[in-house]
Amino acid sequence: MAGYAAVLPARRHVRRSALPGFGLTMGFTLLYLSLIVLIPLSTVFAKTADIGLAGFWEIVTRPRVLNALKLSFGTALIAALINALFGLLVAWVFVRYTFPGKRLLDAFIDLPFALPTAVAGISLTALYSGNGWIGRYLEPLGIKVAFAPLGIVVALTFIGLPFVVRTVQPVLEQAEAALEEAAASLGATRWQTISRVILPSILPALLTGFALAFARGVGEYGSVIFIAGNLPNVSEIAPLLIVIRLEEFNYAAATAIAAAMLIVSFIMLLIINGLQAWARRRGERL
């Protein structure tokens, strides 16, 4: 009996997953992404294909369209950079320090997520207009915020801050403060500790927050149209120009502008993802 048992193959312990097998879950994932993301986006390119490459190029190179695209991507990039810097500082304060009202302020960070964008736009316009609480002191100094491109940056900074804070904050919570103390004990300056110990560990998360804030800013509409002024070639964003073309029943121009925004956004997000992978590899080497 013992010899017979020795001949039998050993039973493998198969770890069962709580979800169905790979084939079923992968099929559902592809179906869901196709219905929610791929098919709607492909429809934009399919509609744009009707006007041909020459028609697409003629529409997107018009001065008004180019200025709107530059404004949308430029202000979104500036706002994302501002949020990357100050969002990191805010996350650092919330993680490393304890002070009265910390939980309340931490909850306020998520307010732009829940607040309707139109409410944010109206509030910011009331604050930064010529007779607003803040604008009345800025305009005499020659700083015009409301109804100017600067107002767009302010609005995009407001709605993009939570993306950076909530992305960096968990990484900072997991970072070991002992490493910073060890670097200081070995004679490292504050800048060396920040650049060689802290930044390499949080850089991938910081770039992720930057990418999310940038992507949100490019497509933002509700909070911007109230404070921008919407002057063609001055403070008119690309999403607003798409809405204008749709109201004119010029669907070809609307889809061409939308396709241009998709292409530029995809290229920039691809670059950011490449930087994330580089930062992750660099952090692992360090």
Q: Report how far apart, in Å, the C-alpha atoms of 208 and of each of 24, 64, 246 are.
A: 30, 32, 33
User: Does some domain include residue 25?
Assistant: no
Q: CB 177: neighbour CB atoms within 10 A?
A: 10
User: Does some domain include residue 45?
Assistant: no
User: Does some domain include residue 10?
Assistant: no
Domain that holds residue 267: 50-285
Q: Which residue has the tokens 């960096």?
A: 168
The DSSP H or E segment spanning 101 is none
Q: What is the pLDDT of residue 256?
A: 93
The DSSP H or E segment spanning 140 is none
Q: What is the pLDDT of residue 184?
A: 72
Q: Which amino acid belongs to residue 48? A: T
Q: What's the CATH code of the domain at 122?
A: 1.10.3720.10
User: Does some domain include residue 204?
Assistant: yes
Residue 115 carries which DSSP code? S
User: Residues 73-89, buried b or exposed e (16+ Cβ, 10 A)?
Assistant: bebbbbbbebbbeebbe
Q: Is 97 helix (H, G, I), strand (E, B) or coil?
A: coil
* Gyration radius (Cα) of the chain, Å: 25
Q: What is the pLDDT of residue 117?
A: 87
Q: Which residues, 6+ apart, have CB-to-CB distance to 144 below 8 Å?
A: 138, 150
What is the rounded CA–CA span in Å between residue 72 and residue 68?
A: 6
What is the rounded CA–CA span in Å between residue 64 and residue 236?
A: 9
- Predicted TM-score (pTM) of the model is 0.85
Q: Report how far apart, in Å, the C-alpha atoms of 202 and of each of 92, 172, 209, 228 are.
A: 11, 7, 11, 34
Residue-by-residue pLDDT tens, the chain, 286 positions:
455 555 545 555 555 656 667 778 888 888 988 888 888 888 888 888 888 899 999 999 999 999 999 999 999 999 999 999 999 999 999 988 888 988 899 889 988 888 888 899 999 999 999 899 999 999 999 999 999 999 999 999 999 999 999 999 998 888 766 677 777 777 777 777 777 777 888 888 899 999 999 999 998 998 999 999 899 999 999 999 999 999 999 999 999 999 999 999 889 888 888 887 887 777 666 6
User: Does some domain include residue 203?
Assistant: yes
User: Does some domain include residue 241?
Assistant: yes
Q: Which residues, 6+ apart, have CB-to-CB distance to 56 below 8 Å?
A: 48, 256, 259, 260
Q: What is the pLDDT of residue 72?
A: 95
User: Does some domain include residue 9?
Assistant: no
Length of the chain (residues): 286
Overall number of domains in the chain: 1
User: Does some domain include residue 220?
Assistant: yes
For residue 62, give both structure tokens.
């018009």
Q: Per-residue DSSP letters for 179-235? A: HHHHHHHTT--HHHHIIIIIHHHHHHHHHHHHHHHHHHHHH--HHHHHHH---TTTT
